[in-house]
A and B are shown apart, each in its own frame.
Chain A
Amino acid sequence: MKKVSLSKMIGLALLLSAALSCTPNEEEGEANEPIDNFDRSAMLVHWADDYAIPAYQNYHQSTQALLTAVNTYVDNPTAAQHSATHAAFREAYRAWQAVSFLAIGPAEEKGLRNFTNVYPTDTAGILEFVNVASYNLTLPSTFNRQGFPAIDYLLSGLGTLAETNTRFGNDPRYGDYLQALAERLELLAGNTLADWENDYRQTFVSRDGSSAAASVNKMVNDYVFHFEKELRAGKVGIPAGVFSGNTLPQSVEAVYTDTLSQSLFLRSLAAHRNFFTGMGFNGQASGESLQSYLDYLGTQHGAGLLSEAIVTQMDLAEGRAQNLASSFRQEAESNPQALLAIYDDLQQGVVYLKVDMLQALNVRVDYIDADGD
């Protein structure tokens, strides 16, 4: 009798283990209300309602304004219209900085960043498309022939203001391409916003688990990735020659407008900081954030709080950048040391974010799945 119960016990145990190991599908499971924990749901609601959706609304409006201005300019390529269009372009490019790191959900599906801001742009490829007047801008091979960098080239890279206006006036193919680019920006922005406003907001907020597919994990991964690759490397490190041994001034963002790169960098940095500290997009609402999450966990770095160390690195970089010329191309050519100093500030920030913060939040890097032991 005793022996039988043993085999039954083993059978039951194995059954139990099989059942348990199959259950954890955190996304769909009812989230138990934890006794004593940080309110991740509140953070997700804040990110969605106070940051992502208003930021996308603002970005979408700016692309609508850009499209309107472009249409007017193409019909009537005058200096005044060029100036108005360029102002709309600058405004939209700045608005983009606030949503660039939200590479989650609809933006991820659509590859939004790849279609919006891959630079340096392929000028020869753009001219080829203008000439053949036939192109499919949904192809990944056209990433570097569209988006803001391509518009930047068409508005400011073709020659002097008068030459540019003449080109647009004489050859409608330029206007067609510029309109196609502006339409595509507006379309992608509008679709992304619509997705957030319709279904994705609910999906985003409901995935409040801790698996690799959960919103907090993915968002944190996207944020850190963007900080490292786009802000630190793309906007500063690459032009300063960190990865190439010699400076690459032509790799600066918005290199044809030339006086825009500093302001785009500062916008992006401010967006990263606001998101981190829990400031809403409109500057009014504030809510749970990575900072309050780290502080809730009591994460220290040295004698102080890790969250403060992270903000300090961003402040340091901001202070340095504000003292530079509005053109990072100019800085890369004449004063790369200044850019390298910003790079170093951000580099230390990456260490804090990627090593200390990810560890404290116990966030798994989302593209890694393998067994542990």
Chain B
Amino acid sequence: MKKALEQYLAQSTEAAPLAVFRVFFGLMMFASILRFWAMGWIEKLYLKPDFHFSYYGFEWVQPLGIYTYGLFALCGIAALLVALGLWYRYAILLFFLSFTYIELMDKTTYLNHYYFISVLSFVLLFLPAQAYFSVDAWRKPQVAFQKIPRWCIDVLKLLLALVYFYAGLAKLNSDWLLEAQPLATWLPGRYNLPLLGPWLEQTWVHYAFSWGGALYDLAIPFLLLYRPTRKWAFALVVIFHVLTRVLFPIGMFPYIMIVSALVFFSAGFHHRLLSALAGWLHLPKAVFDNGRVLAWAALPRKRLTAGVLAAVLALQLLWPWRYLGYPGELFWHEQGFRFSWRVMLMEKAGYVNFTVVDLQKGERFTVDNRAFLSAFQEKQMSFQPDFILEFAHFLEEHYQQTQQRGDLAVYAQSYVALNGRGSQPFIDPSVDLTQHRRGWHTKNWILPFNDTIYGL
């Protein structure tokens, strides 16, 4: 066993696929940052709101006021440096830190693909992605290698495969397969798309998309890994992600996935791609084809690297299953929902009102949420219990400080509708939320879901 592992680690392969991945990853990230900036979202999401929802344990990560622009600039520059392969280690470290900091500033904006980018950039920190077709390798021949350990590329394939496969597993539930929800809610709303529009109101189309989507997610890793099906699998990747791009407001994610899937192709393909790129831009490519092999045995800190990457992979494998530790319906209480590749699974909407009771003065009043939150924050809060609890704690503190009040109780009256079911009460309205701590323990003040969703 140990020997097999040593043997596997010692295998080497062409560095070109990793170089292509680095270039595209860097460019995509740079474009994403520019787009985010150009949309005015930095101001809208991070500067305008007075209050930000924090991940538990990361309350210290807050927007930096006007310097938030600087943070985005740093992140964009780092992404560009990654693409160029210039000062790669520092660039990817800076990118990982700045991007992750941005994502941690407010969990209102949580997206699975942002999390995926953080994971990828963390892993890239340990890969010799600058060994080939990079400014670093061009300037310092001693760090230029044509071949690198094979696992360096396998680890990326594995991460991508896990995302798809887990996203597919998450779709194996009765809402998705038997009710075609939430697609049956979403697709008709796109009725006026050219060509596709008229079909999107047909019930059979909702089912076809649901089943097709689940099958796609479950099968695509294997179809991409298996050489004879790879080409067609990639065509599927393109069709699938373009379709999601057309149907849903999904930003850069489809392009990132399409480009990432290229890593499954052979070294020969990547060499041709780089030759073409080098040709267009009049860059030398031959200098990188030096035949030098970066051996596993020669890697600095290889034990640390192996340990960290093994831990990342183990976490990726196990972390999505933590929801099993919570009683009740995952889609309803969302404990263990994030960071698990549960993508496009729910149409959930809610409405929440907070009542503050001044226990000394005996006064009670209802809060205007919008006085503190953006519309986007209020919407996201309305169906996520951890947001509701955090906001209740904020209200307690706010009214104690600004109105010199003593002991306060905060109650939430809330309704949530999930996947086309009618709204039903969500949070126990008799529970004083200031008496409940944030944390990983079960939130027993969420009312039970009065229906059953079968499956994973």
Contact = CB atoms under 8 A, between A and B. Distances in A.
Contacts of A26: 192-193
B268 A3 contact: yes
Interface string A317-360: 00000000000000000000000000000010011101110111
A363 B438 CA distance: 32
B379 A365 contact: yes
Interface string A1-15: 001001101100110
Given A3-B269, A243-B368, A356-B423, A371 B249 contact: yes
A16 B242 contact: yes
A37 B269 CA distance: 47
Nearest to A32: B197
Nearest to B253: A373
Contacts of A362: 185-186, 188-189
A359 B351 contact: no
Nearest to B190: A210
B423 A29 contact: no
A20 to B, nearest CB: 5
Interface residues of A, number: 60
B250 A13 contact: no
B202 A355 contact: no
Interface stretch (B1-9, B357-365, B389-397): B357-365
Contact of B192 (A10, A208, A302, A354): A208
Contact of A17 (B190, B245, B363): B245
Contacts of A365: 375, 379
A351 B423 contact: yes
A186 B197 CA distance: 44
B231 A9 contact: yes
B415 A35 contact: no
B41 A367 contact: no
Interface in B341-392: 343-344, 347, 349-351, 353, 358, 361, 363-368, 375-376, 379
Contacts of A160: none
Interface string A285-329: 000000000000100111000100000000000000000000000
A373 B422 contact: no
A3 B272 contact: yes
A355 B350 contact: yes
Contact of A372 (B39, B249, B358): B249
B111 interface: yes
Contacts, number: 163
Contacts of A300: 422
B422 A356 contact: yes
A329 to B, nearest CB: 19
Most buried by B among A359, A360, A369: A359
Contact of A29 (B186, B194, B235, B353): B194
A134 B288 CA distance: 78
B234 interface: yes
B198 A35 contact: yes
A22 to B, nearest CB: 10
B246 interface: yes
Most buried by B among A9, A17, A36: A17
A34 interface: yes
Contacts of B149: none
B238 A352 contact: no
B189 A372 contact: no
A24 interface: yes
A7 B365 contact: no
A373 B416 CA distance: 20
A358 B375 CA distance: 15
Contacts of A297: 188
Given A17-B242, A34-B191, A210-B191, A373 B423 contact: no
B321 interface: no
Given A6-B231, A245-B358, A301 B422 contact: yes
Given A37-B201, A210-B189, 20 more contacts: A3-B268, A6-B269, A7-B269, A9-B235, A21-B246, A24-B194, A32-B192, A34-B192, A35-B198, A37-B198, A243-B367, A301-B423, A302-B422, A350-B351, A355-B416, A356-B423, A370-B41, A370-B109, A372-B248, A372-B344
Interface of A: 3, 6-7, 9-10, 13-14, 16-17, 20-21, 23-24, 26, 29-37, 208-210, 233, 237, 241-246, 297, 300-302, 306, 347, 350-352, 354-356, 358-363, 365, 367-373
6 contacts: A13-B258, A16-B238, A32-B198, A351-B423, A352-B423, A373-B113
Closest 8 CB pairs of A and B: A362-B189, A371-B251, A245-B363, A13-B238, A245-B365, A17-B242, A301-B422, A373-B111
